[in-house]
Structures are given as structure tokens and as C-alpha cells.
Structure 1
Amino acid sequence: MMRTILPDKEMNRRTRLPPHRAGHGRTSLPHLRKAQSDIRPPGEPLLKGSDSEAELAHPRPHGTSHPASVSTQPITLVSGGGRIGAIEMSNLQTALKGCGEMGHNCVNSTPHATHECGANQAGSFFTPMKPPLSFSDQLNLMSTRGLTIDDRELALKRLSETNFYRLRGYWLTYERDGRFIPNTTFDSIWNTYAPDCALRRWVWEAIAPIEIKARALFAYHMAMECGPLAHEDNRYFRSARAHSHSMESLIRERNRALRDGVPCAVHNVEKYGDLPIWAAVEIMSMGTVSQLYGNLDPAKSGVAKSIAGEFGVKPFILRSWLRHLTYIRNICGHHSRLYNRVMTTRANLLKKDSGYDSNKEFPTFLVLKRIYDRSWPERWPSMLDGLEALISAHESVSLNPMRFPLEWREVLG
């Protein structure tokens, strides 16, 4: 019987990774990967791929189903050390062909409990997938919903260079009950989209030195107080499970750095067999640094307090700020919409800024201001001038959806 192998994060939620030495909390990176492979009971098959030790299939909750990911990469089943066959994942297309014909958009994991009317065990029904539309038909659809298109050729070009659903987020403020408000033009939507691109670049550049400073301070204070490999020792962290998740991320980042020949990674692994914290932070994502900082146990070290002190705030505030800025950085890095976005990861504001708290964008700019006021006060005025010039160049775009107050310039000044 073939067992579904869980992805790294799901697997680690169910099975705690053991330390490589009894009585010691540190799990070094070379041993952690072995510990993961040791979780599989002997004799049970493991999915093996060409790029890593395990290509793991995503699980799905009981009674639900999800669209299958189709890959052409061959997967080899290994049982008890011997190969028992290979499966070409593109063959899944044939196996799942009937799903669309049934009017279901995903695999039914409980066919034995499916009613003849099409409901699955959870009682869910799925609408048949709608067919794709050409760029021309997409534009026609927008027109039937009340959009004015002055230059069809230019609109088609822009639609083909962006994507219907990317632009969709920018016309939310021009839409009521599924139709465009009167006199809305394609140019109106484009003129909202264009400044958001510039705004993301501004925010990205503002976050960059904060990320670098956070890495540097985390490495310095962790090493000086706790040792060069303290980031791998779960005794310094509140949650061993969260720490092992962070180590899984670091393993992936380290392996990528070794494949790419990053000098600091190659040198330290070849010489010491591991990465000291001052080298590790150079290959860590901001997310990993944020997770490790947020998980520091104040009862075991003063690292969290020391780092927060250099940012001029308390540890719980900095923890919130780093987590929020990681979220914002990822939005900008993936070219996602920043304008008129509901923030699912919010920052704790200082008491003096609490009147401007919301789940929109303006609190992000307040956080940036407070960090720059403490760390680089001489840089902020010119950055604020750049933001004002960006906003002034697009006066037709309302700042209300981002919860900018009328006096935003004075508040951020």
C-alpha cells in the first residue's frame, strides 16, 4: 500500500524532528535533513525526485479535494531500498480527465460517499469551470458591464501585457453591483494601476535597509551573547516546533546558496561543515529572520531586547513590525497589488500613532517613518519628497482607499 508523504511543513506539524545529540537542543543543518528522512518507517515507499531528497505530495483534508498539480517530472517509488517502478506525472491528466466532464473542478476524494446528484461527502457542489476568453472577448465583457473603451487597440495591448485578473483589483473602486459606474474608462483603470507600480518600488526601496539592518543585528547579538551556532539551538527559542520550521526554511536557503555557489555559504560549509550565524543571515530570507526573531525566548537571552533597543522600540513592537514588513516586502517582490489592499498581517503602532490604525496601507508608511526617524533620520525627508512627487503625478488617483488622511504629508513629515 502506497503512503502519501506529507510536505515538509505539514510533516513537521505531525512529527517533531529529533535533536542530533541526546540532551542538547541544537539540531545542526547537516543532521536535520537526515532526521527528516529518518521519519519514514522502514519498508514504506518514499517519493523521490531529481532535485531534492523527497518530492512530497500535498495532503488534503478528509472529505475535501483540490486541483491536482500536474508535473512532467518522473517520480520513482522506493520501497525497502529497491526501486519498484516509475510514474510519469503527466499521466495524471488522463486519470483526472473525467473531473471536468462531471462538472467538478477537482478530485473527489470520497467517491464512495458521493451522492448521485453530485454532492460530495461534505455536501459541497462545484460550478462547472467557465471557458477561457480571448483578450478581445475579455475587453468585450468589460464593455458589456459599462466600461468605456476609447482606444481599443491600446486597451488590448495593455490587457495582454498585464492580465485581466491583475487589473481586476484596480477597478474595484469603479464598480458597483457588478457593473462599472457611469463614465468609467479603461484609461481610468490604467491610471490607477500605473502609480501602484511606482508605489511598490518606493516601498521596496524603503524596506531594503531595514531588512539588512535586522539581519546584521540578529547575527551580531545572537553570536556575541549565545554563540556562532545559537540560531540552530532550540533552547533559545520559545517554540521548538516553530524553530524547526525556521530551520527547514534555512536548509532550503542554504542548499540553494550552495547550488548557486554563493561564496560565504560554500566557504563556511567546506571549512566548518556548517554556517555560523553571521554567514547564515546573508542567505536567509527576511521571513526567516523575522520568524527567528519573533520566536526568541526572553527568559533564555537578552538578544530580542538588545535588537529592539537599537530600533528604539520594545521587542513586541519590533516583532510585529518585522512580520508586517516581511508581508509587505513579499507583496512588492511578487508585483502584487498594494493599492486598496486589505492587510491580513497588520503592524502594532506606537501609542502616538494609534489614531491612524487601520487594515489598509497608511500604517505601513507610519512604521517606515518611525524606523527611519531612529535609524536614518537624514534620509527620510528626501524619501518623503519622492513619495509626494509620486502621488502628485497621479492626482486623479484617490488616496482614500489606502486610508491616507488629508494631512498625510504633515503626519509623515
Structure 2
Amino acid sequence: MRTKVGHFVFQGELTVDPDNKTNMKIKPPTTYREQVEIFKTRNLHIKNSESAENYLQRVNYYRLSAYAITLKDPLNKENYKDNSTFEELTSLYEFDRRLRLLLLGVLETIEIAFRTHISYETAHKYGPLGYKDKENFTNEKFHKESLDELDTLISRSRKGELFIEHHFKNYSGHIPIWAAIEVTSFGYISKFYRNLNEDLKKHIAKVYYNVPYLYLESWLQTLSNVRNVCAHYGRLYNKKLTFKPRLFKEDIRRFNNQKVYAAIYIIQRLLTRVERKRFLIELETLIQEYEEHIDYSHIGFPNNWRELLNNKHK
């Protein structure tokens, strides 16, 4: 049977692009009920098919299947390990969803604090508009690109942000660093900091975070990426970090820097004592709730993860 939809012609599992004359074998869509049956035929135990079907109406089968990879039988990757259940699969998904929400909260705290530190110190060392002077940065090309990006962000913010329009009306569009920084992203301030002159980078890293600036550069890059993953509902469970953070020698021996635990570890080092205490309580509560289903190796947690996170660094 041939069915034409828009630009493509569908023939069972065969999709034909009439322009490129390319045949692509793509699986046909399945109903929610069929998706439940696929799970069953692959050895995933489902107590209540109707409940599973309702869940799949809210969470895409393809999205959920990414979490099911850890439940696959290593000898037969088409099937799930014996005694694997749909409840176990959804628990992994819900754990990851709640972990993202927890991390988003503390990453917001870290991002806002860093915006404050970088704008305050830049303004006091170079002046309100010193961020426009290429002499205050290490790479002229990156500085120009940074200014171009900031101009775009400021232009987009004129209609929605009163403080930006205020500076256009009263100061001919000259916006001091402490105002301009508020329209930027975590990724932007990470790159901004990396390009600052070394003496100012050292000062900010020492005064506010008590770490060498090379570590802070790396940590900000890692956390800005983790923040984007969380904000766009990406997966943290059983996934490697895109940007692996630089770790101290003693930490490298304790855990690897490829999984989310490494990000969690540097997060707690960048929080104040009160913020850290609250975060660790919430994290431990979350871990305890899902401990039956999660595998520590898939999130990079060492056996003594509580002890390491509760060490005092400040």
C-alpha cells in the first residue's frame, strides 16, 4: 500500500524520498497498546497493561526506551534481563527527572552568584564599560565574538526587559556590565570568564571559590552544559558528561569525571555552607527513595559518595 504524506511516500516500512531517490527503511508508527506489547515480547514484565499504556501516552516510548538500555540482557540485547519490570523502568525515568529538577535549582543559585561575582569584579577593575575593551581579555577574536553575541542578546531583550530599555532611553544604549550580565546565559558567562585576563580570573577564583582558576574554568563549562541538559529534559542517567571537569589528583583516584556524580561533586564545592547542606539533604533523600532501582555505576557514584560530598572544602 502506498500512502503519500507531504513530500514523502510511505510503503509499509519503506520510505521513499522522490527528490533524492533514496530508499530509507524506517519502522512504521505503533499504537500505545502495541508499544506495551513490544515491551512484553522482549521480556519486560508488566503487571497492568492499561496503566503502562497510560504512562506511554505521557512519556514517549522512544524516550523511555533510552532508560531501558541498562535493563537489557547482555547476552541478548533485544530482550530485557529476567525479572525486569515496567515499574523498574519508570522508576529510573522518574529518578532522572527529579534529579534534573534538583540540579536545576542549585545550578540557578551557582549561575546567579557567578554573574554577581564576575560583573562586580570586572566593573571595579575595568570600569562599568570595561567589558568592551579588548585589552582586558586574552583573545581578541573571542572578545569580538562575545560582544557581537551580547549585542544580539541585548537587542532581543529591549522589548521584554525594562532595565535594558531604560539604558537606551537615558544612557544612549551604554549598558554597564552589571546590567548587561543579566541578559546572558550560563554558557555565555563561562566563555566570558575563560577569556578574561589571567590576573582577574585568578582573583575571582581565589576570593569566591578558593580554587585555581583553571579548575573554575573547567567546572563552569561542565555545569553550563549540565544545566542545558536539565533545562531541555535531557538524560543524565547512564550518560557521559559532554565536558568532563578537571579534578584534583585526590579526587581522580576516588571517582571518574565522566558521569553526573562528578558534576554533583563540583556543584557542592561551589555552594555556600547553608546551600550545600540543603542540597545534600535533598540529594540523599532522592537517592534513598529510588535506591532499590538505580545502579550507582550508571551515575558514577562511588561507594563512599556521602562521605566525599560531606567533606568540608571551605
Fold conserved between structures, TM > 0.5: yes
Higher relative contact order (CA 8 A, sep 6+): 2
**C-alpha distance 103-241 of structure 1, shift in aligned 2 (>3 A):** farther
**C-alpha distance 237-131 of structure 1, shift in aligned 2 (>3 A):** farther
From 364, 367, 389, give the equivalent of 2:285.
389
Question: Paired residue for 1:150?
Answer: 47
Question: Paired residue for 2:227?
Answer: 329
Give the Cα separation in 1 of the matches to 2:149 and 2:56: 36
Question: Paired residue for 1:369?
Answer: 268
Which region of structure 1 is more displaced relative to structure 2, 231-240 or 206-215? 231-240
Relative to total residues, which structure has the larger helix share, 1 or 2?
2
Question: Paired residue for 1:66?
Answer: none
**C-alpha distance 104-347 of structure 1, shift in aligned 2 (>3 A):** farther
From 211, 226, 233, give the equivalent of 2:126.
226
The 5-angstrom pairing of residues 194-233 of structure 1 reads 194-233=94-133
Question: Paired residue for 1:5?
Answer: none
Letter in 1 for 2:147: M
Q: Aligned pair 1:265/2:161, yes or no?
A: no
Q: Aligned pair 1:305/2:202, yes or no?
A: yes
Give the Cα separation in 1 of the matches to 2:49 and 2:86: 9
Once the two structures are superposed, residues 238-278 of structure 1 have per-residue CA deviations (whole angstroms, 9 ceiling, x without a partner) of: 33333333334323322332121x12211112222132111
The 5-angstrom pairing of residues 9-408 of structure 1 reads 97=7, 103=15, 108=20, 127-176=24-73, 177-260=77-160, 262-272=161-171, 273-298=173-198, 302-309=199-206, 310-355=208-253, 356-372=255-271, 376-396=272-292, 397-408=294-305
Q: What is the TM-score when the length of structure 2 is the normalising length?
A: 0.86
**Preserved CA contact (<8 Å) 1:135 1:160:** yes
**C-alpha distance 251-160 of structure 1, shift in aligned 2 (>3 A):** farther
Query: Identity over aligned residues, as a percent?
Result: 30
Letter in 2 for 1:253: L
Once the two structures are superposed, residues 100-151 of structure 1 have per-residue CA deviations (whole angstroms, 9 ceiling, x without a partner) of: 789566975xxxxxxx9x6xxxxxxx63333222222222222222222211
**Preserved CA contact (<8 Å) 2:159 2:165:** no
Secondary structure of residue in 1 paired with 2:237: coil
**How far apart are 1:199 and its partner, in Å?**
1.2
Letter in 2 for 1:390: L
Give the Cα separation in 1 of the matches to 2:29 and 2:137: 49
Give the Cα separation in 1 of the matches to 2:8 and 2:233: 36
Secondary structure of residue in 1 paired with 2:197: coil
Count of residues paired in the alignment: 297
Identify unmatched segments of 5+ residues in structure 2.
none
**How far apart are 1:345 and its partner, in Å?**
0.9
**Preserved CA contact (<8 Å) 2:128 2:176:** yes
Once the two structures are superposed, residues 135-186 of structure 1 have per-residue CA deviations (whole angstroms, 9 ceiling, x without a partner) of: 2222222222222221111111111111112212211110131221122111
Secondary structure of residue in 2 paired with 1:130: coil
RMSD: 2.3
Secondary structure of residue in 2 paired with 1:179: strand
Letter in 1 for 2:103: V
Give the Cα separation in 1 of the matches to 2:262 and 2:222: 10
Which region of structure 1 is more displaced relative to structure 2, 341-350 or 224-233? 224-233
Identify unmatched segments of 5+ residues in structure 1.
1-92, 109-115, 119-125
Higher-Rg structure is 1
Give the Cα separation in 2 of the matches to 1:99 and 1:265: 50
Give the Cα separation in 1 of the matches to 2:194 and 2:24: 42
Which region of structure 1 is more displaced relative to structure 2, 136-145 or 339-348? 136-145
**C-alpha distance 107-192 of structure 1, shift in aligned 2 (>3 A):** farther
**C-alpha distance 159-311 of structure 1, shift in aligned 2 (>3 A):** same
**Preserved CA contact (<8 Å) 1:339 1:401:** yes
**How far apart are 1:404 and its partner, in Å?**
0.7
**C-alpha distance 318-153 of structure 1, shift in aligned 2 (>3 A):** same
Letter in 2 for 1:347: P
**C-alpha distance 338-209 of structure 1, shift in aligned 2 (>3 A):** same
Give the Cα separation in 1 of the matches to 2:18 and 2:204: 47
Give the Cα separation in 1 of the matches to 2:257 and 2:57: 35
